[in-house]
Amino acid sequence: MTTAGKTWRRRKRERPDEIRAAALIEFSEKSFGEVRMELIAKRAGVTKGTIYLYYASKAELFDTLRGSETCESRVGIAD
């Protein structure tokens, strides 16, 4: 396998983490209604379509973060 192939596969595995990290920042700075998938994508360095490969909607992405202990401690999102 080429180095480029290894890099691509590693990046693909890391994408969900990068998307969640970008979303966490956006949701901590703005209300749910103000957050746009385009802004999350830009911050994560991916396209909006890439986000939708991993998350069906902004609500699903938000719910994923809500279940994260890191998110609750960082931005105070509670049930």
CA angle 32, 38, 39 (to 5 degrees): 65
Per the listing, tokens 């290894």 go with 6
> Taking the domains of the chain in order of start, what are their residue ranges?
3-66
User: pLDDT tens digits for 15-69?
Assistant: 999 999 999 999 999 999 999 999 999 999 999 999 999 999 999 999 999 987 5
CA 15 to chain centre: 8
Q: Which CATH superfamily is domain 3-66 in?
A: Homeodomain-like (1.10.10.60)
Distance CA 17, CA 57 (A): 16
Q: What is the pLDDT of residue 25?
A: 97
Instruction: Work out the percent of the chain whose per-residue pLDDT is above 90.
Output: 65
Q: What is the pLDDT of residue 62?
A: 96
